[in-house]
Amino acid sequence: MKLNTLINSNKIQFNYFYNKLLNKHLSSSILGKAMKYGSMNGGKRIRPYLVKEASKIVKLNKNNMMILASCIESIHSYSLIHDDLPSMDNDDYRRGKLSTHKKFNEATAILAGDALHDFAFELISGHLKNIDEKTNLKIINFLSKSTGHIGLAGGQSLDLIYERKNVNINNILEMYKKKTGKLFEFSFSSPFILANETKQRINFSKEYGLLFGQIFQIIDDVLDQINSFERIGKTPGKDKKQGKSTLLKIIGKEKIIDFCNNKINKFINKNKKEFSENKFLEDLLKFNLTRFN
């Protein structure tokens, strides 16, 4: 089956579970409604797909797989709600619909983001089953690092600082690693951690997720420039207008695919055993490069 079909079918399963979970836990207050709007208003659900594929490798139970995925999408939705705010990337649209601060108001959107962040920690600290307290603490600690100053928030800060600045490729890759890579790293490696895999395999899963996220962001920047509102669901061409520092700006569109392929092939060569035991890992990594189609 084609990867796009698999991702879409997982999206349907995930949305069913996540919608039920949100309905069970969120009230019908304005805040609850804004949280639901910001997290159920579309989205490709790529991160839950990475959780699923990693869970398949380590045979993680379904409850824990779905809780991890829900927790990650709550953090992701939080980051998108805040990213759209006037003080951040200032976009009235997300996923083809009004962004949360436009649908509700700015204060409600800030609170909805905050509360989705907290909801993620509520899930990961209280809803995983059959794991010992030490492993649970370890995964909570890892999520905190992935989202905080050395993760998403740190990356977003660099993204803002680098606007209209002369930065080099390493600066940009470091920013991508934090702003996008860290949550993908968590998505792919958290099942390995919960399954108590070896240190070596956990390291592999972290590197895989980080690389996936970096490439995802490199391509996302290209899509921002070449696509229409209908394709990306938000205002296109904003990176250029806002003077964002992107890899695209430094090396140009023609070299992007080669740059990504180089990185991917180096990583595959370094980890031949994992890639030969799990054939789909290569296709999944290269899926990023088909996002233009």
102-107 contacts, C-beta under 8 A, 24 or more apart:
103/34, 103/37, 104/30, 104/33, 104/34, 104/37
Residues forming contacts to ligand GRG in the complex (CB under 6 A) are 43-44, 46, 75-76, 78-80, 82-83, 88, 95, 147, 152-153, 156, 179-180, 216-217, 220
Buried b (16+ CB within 10 A) or exposed e, 164-195: eeebeeebbbbbbbbbbbbbbbbbbbbbbbbb
Cβ nearer to ligand GRG, comparing 46 with 211? 46
Cβ nearer to ligand GRG, comparing 146 with 195? 146
Cβ nearer to ligand GRG, comparing 58 with 289? 289
Q: How far is the CB of 174 from ligand GRG (least distance, A)?
A: 14
Residue 175 near residue 217 (C-beta atoms within 8 A): no
The H-or-E segment that residue 94 falls in is: strand 93-94
Cβ nearer to ligand GRG, comparing 67 with 218? 218
94 beta partners: 97
97 beta partners: 94
- Helix residue ranges per DSSP H, 127-237: 133-147, 152-161, 169-176, 182-194, 199-226, 229-232
Residue 187 near residue 51 (C-beta atoms within 8 A): yes
Report residue 199 as tokens. 């240190």
Q: How far is the CB of 113 from ligand GRG (least distance, A)?
A: 7
Q: What is the CA radius of gyration of the chain?
A: 18
Cβ nearer to ligand GRG, comparing 161 with 196? 161
Q: How far is the CB of 130 from ligand GRG (least distance, A)?
A: 28
Cβ nearer to ligand GRG, comparing 80 with 128? 80
Q: How far is the CB of 283 from ligand GRG (least distance, A)?
A: 18
Cβ nearer to ligand GRG, comparing 153 with 250? 153
DSSP for residue 78: H
Residue 150 near residue 183 (C-beta atoms within 8 A): no
- Closest-by-Cβ residue to ligand GRG is 43
Q: How far is the CB of 269 from ligand GRG (least distance, A)?
A: 27
Q: How far is the CB of 226 from ligand GRG (least distance, A)?
A: 15
Q: How far is the CB of 116 from ligand GRG (least distance, A)?
A: 9
